[in-house]
Amino acid sequence: MITVIGAGAWGSNLATIALANGYDVNMWSRRSNLSLTRAVRDAEVIVSAISMQGIRDVIEQLQGLTLSPQTIFVSATKGLDPQTARTPCQIWQDTFPRNPIVVLSGPNLSKEIEKGLPAATVVASNTAIAASKVQLIFSSNRFRVYTNLDPLGVELGGTLKNVVAIAAGVCDGLQLGTNAKAALVARGLTEMVRIGVHWGAQQETFYGLSGLGDLIATCNSPFSRNYQVGYQLAGGRNLQEILANLQGAAEGINTTTVLKQCSQRGDISMPITEQVYCLLQAQVTPKEALEGLMLRDIKPEYQQ
């Protein structure tokens, strides 16, 4: 039995894929009639597809239940804890140290997947056997699943790109052109690698599906909520107005704040994140954010 927690856009998609592969699937959400206790009682695999803001709440509820140490937790959330900057998988592992934890992340815009369009993703874990099991659950002729042994890198790829996707939306909203977008995405990737490696992830992971792959998807698609936030800010709307009309979470907003604090604390240069932060706080206009990036001190592309 597989239990999917969170019946939003992504959770519903993942449940559909596993169901189509012949697995028994339970879905649980805050609004379902099924209690969480019942939903996870026979679960061999628990897939969490809740937004970052609900993670601690759900984990607290699960903590009180008796779960087998063999139960595999799969995290599909792309965010960072506002208080601790821990990733969802780190929080799952802190709470359930004996259970295998797997992250599932990749260029997976749910609106395309629900139409049956082809996509690929990555499942990563320190427990290779758990990753292989999850790979089998979700692999299909429309969804190609790769395993990976760098869960932190895979998780951070999917999380950090949301900040760049906001900036890419601004870039397109201001009609800055393809050269500007290419520069932004490439330098955004450099920023992701810089903080990711500082936190212990492997550099090469960021050049795979969950890093570069997801950057390409979300920085170019109007289906991305994070991209939409940037695009609409560039169009002159304010953040409250945008969020009131946005379907689902734009995790990049909270991630930007967490990253800004971490980069300041660790003295890590993250100029794109800095400008996205100032823009979200309404401290600068989109055009001023662009100027802020273009007028930085000139420097080598890579610093030793």
172 binds ligand 13P (CB under 6 A): no
Residue 232 binds which of ligand NAI, ligand 13P, none (CB < 5-8 A, kind-dependent) = none
Catalytic residue chosen out of the listed positions 111, 115, 161, 287: 161
Residue 11 marked in a binding site: yes
137 binds ligand NAI (CB under 6 A): no
The CA-CA-CA angle for residues 190, 191, 194, to 5°, reads 85
CB of 284 to ligand NAI, least distance (A): 25
Left, alpha or beta for 77 (phi > 0: left; psi -120 to 50: alpha)? beta
Residue 30 marked in a binding site: yes
109 binds ligand 13P (CB under 6 A): yes
Q: Which residues contact 25 (CB under 8 A, 6 or more apart)?
A: 1, 2, 3, 4, 15, 18, 19
CB count in 10 Å sphere of residue 266: 12
CA distance 272 to 187: 8
Q: What is the largest CA-CA distance in the chain?
A: 59
**Residue choice 1, 7, 183, 197 for contact with ligand NAI (CB under 6 A):** 7
Residue 265 marked in a binding site: no
6 binds ligand NAI (CB under 6 A): yes
From 47-55, 175-183, 200-208, 268-276, span contacting ligand NAI (CB under 6 A): 47-55
Residue 48 binds which of ligand 13P, ligand NAI, none (CB < 5-8 A, kind-dependent) = none
CA distance 165 to 295: 21
Tokens 């099991």, located at residue? 133
Tokens 């304010």, located at residue? 238
**Residue choice 2, 40, 49, 160 for contact with ligand NAI (CB under 6 A):** 49
Which residues carry out catalysis?
Answer: 161
Where on the chain is the footprint of ligand NAI (CB under 6 A)? 6-11, 29-30, 49-54, 57-58, 76-79, 108-110, 248-249, 251
